[in-house]
Amino acid sequence: MAQDKRRYLVDEDGRKESVALSVEDYEELMEDIKDLALIAERKDEPTEPLDELEKRLEAKWRGTE
């Protein structure tokens, strides 16, 4: 959401009740939510340092695994 294009729906007193987003902004927001859910779901999985991963993938790619 580079440029803020939100529109607010207000009640009779001018209080914000809802937000209207472009479809593009909505889809981007939903993708972010999915990514965050996946991160939370996988937070307890074991990790591997990037340099070790790179070495392992390089060996696999070269067939020297």
The CA distances from residue 54 to 13, 39, 61, in Å, are: 59, 21, 10
Domain ranges of the chain: 7-62
What pLDDT score was predicted for residue 2?
Answer: 54
For the chain, list residues with pLDDT below 70. 1-3, 65
Strand partners of residue 7 = 20
Distance CA 63, CA 43 (A): 31
What pLDDT score was predicted for residue 26?
Answer: 93
What pLDDT score was predicted for residue 6?
Answer: 78
Distance CA 8, CA 25 (A): 15
